[in-house]
């Protein structure tokens, strides 16, 4: 198992190869530690659910390297481009209508998909290396607190993943804000680092409210 805090380009390439071969990789994000798999690999996505003991009814967020990758996965709606320009890369997950190009397991059979560009250099480099979307969710057992360090993730998921990238403590320490852009009035489904006030400043005519 790969586990090191001093990550070289060669080690990131090993992690990318693991992902491309259907493996699971634990890595730091700008919020908390996550566990990643190729979003288009249904077998790998299923392995995330097993590793986390996560119910299949809970959809997985998807991370991309650039906003240009979004159109192949989701249909942009009013407000998307403004929010992406203002807060990506960053701790804001946006829910958009899905184009049904990902396995139904990723979206839990829903008509929407949750997307984000993370603001973490290691993860962005890895996303560029694989050049395809990754399903990334918090690296902890379902229902347990999110991992803020590689060791906390290892304690919960050791033996269930193929690599652990130790990039030091996750700088954010708090899961991303989740904003659903599919209703007429966007809804904050999970509060987080990006506040309702910040969101409303970008979408003044579509003031977000918390579910």
pLDDT tens for residues 169-191? Answer: 999 889 999 999 999 889 999 99
**pLDDT over 70 percentage in the chain:** 93
Which pLDDT score, from 0 to 100, does residue 10 have?
A: 81
Which pLDDT score, from 0 to 100, does residue 173 have?
A: 83
* Residue 163 pLDDT greater than 70, yes or no: yes
* Residue 206 pLDDT greater than 60, yes or no: no
User: pTM score, two decimals?
Assistant: 0.92
Which pLDDT score, from 0 to 100, does residue 203 have?
A: 87
Tell me the C-alpha distance between 118 and 158, whole Å: 24
* Residue 4 pLDDT greater than 50, yes or no: no
Which pLDDT score, from 0 to 100, does residue 25 have?
A: 97
- 3-state SS string over 58-111? CCCCEECCCHHHHHHCECCCCCHHHHHHHHCCCCEEEEEEECCCCCHHHHCCCC
Residue 97 forms beta bridges with which residues? 112
- 3-state SS string over 109-170? CCCEEEEECCCCHHHHHHHHHHCCCEEEEECCCCCCCCCCCHHHHHHHHCCCCCEEECCCCC
Residue 27 forms beta bridges with which residues? 34
Q: For 128-157, what is the mean pLDDT?
A: 96
Phi, psi angles (nearest 5°) of residue 51? -60, -40
Residue 63 forms beta bridges with which residues? 116, 134
Burial 71-106 (b: 16+ CB within 10 A, else e): eebbeeeebbeebbeebbbbbbbbbbebeeebbebb
Q: For 138-151, what is the mean pLDDT?
A: 95
Question: Within its chain, how far is the Cα of 179 from the centroid?
Answer: 13
Q: Please, are residues 18 and 12 in contact by the beta-carbon 8 Å criterion?
A: no
Domains (range + CATH), the chain: 2-202 (3.90.870.10)
pLDDT tens digits along 73-90? 999 999 999 999 999 999
Q: Residues with Cβ < 8 Å from 114, sequence gap 6 or more? A: 59, 60, 61, 62, 93, 94, 95, 178
Look over the chain and give the mean of its residue pLDDT values, rounded to a whole number.
92
Confidence label for 3 from pLDDT (cuts 50, 70 and 90): very low
* Residue 205 pLDDT greater than 80, yes or no: no
Q: For 107-124, what is the mean pLDDT?
A: 96
* Residue 123 pLDDT greater than 60, yes or no: yes
């Amino acid at each position: 198992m790969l586990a090191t805090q001093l990550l070289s380009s060669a080690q990131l390439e090993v992690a990318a190869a693991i992902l491309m071969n259907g493996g699971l990789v634990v890595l730091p994000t700008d919020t908390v530690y996550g566990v990643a798999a190729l979003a288009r690999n249904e077998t790998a996505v299923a392995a995330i659910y097993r590793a986390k003991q996560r119910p299949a009814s809970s959809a997985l967020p998807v991370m991309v390297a650039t906003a240009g990758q979004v159109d192949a996965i989701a249909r942009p709606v009013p407000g998307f481009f403004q929010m992406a320009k203002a807060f990506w890369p960053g701790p804001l997950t946006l829910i958009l209508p899905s184009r049904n190009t990902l396995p139904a397991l990723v979206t839990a059979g829903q008509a929407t998909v949750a997307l984000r560009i993370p603001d973490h250099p290691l993860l962005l480099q890895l996303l560029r290396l694989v050049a395809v979307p990754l399903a990334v969710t918090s690296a902890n057992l379902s229902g347990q607190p999110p991992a803020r360090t590689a060791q906390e993730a290892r304690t919960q998921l050791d033996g269930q993943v193929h690599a652990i990238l130790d990039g030091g403590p996750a700088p954010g320490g708090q899961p991303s804000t989740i904003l659903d852009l599919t209703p007429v009035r966007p809804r904050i489904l999970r509060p987080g680092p990006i506040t309702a006030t910040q969101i409303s400043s970008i979408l003044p005519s579509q003031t977000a409210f918390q579910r």
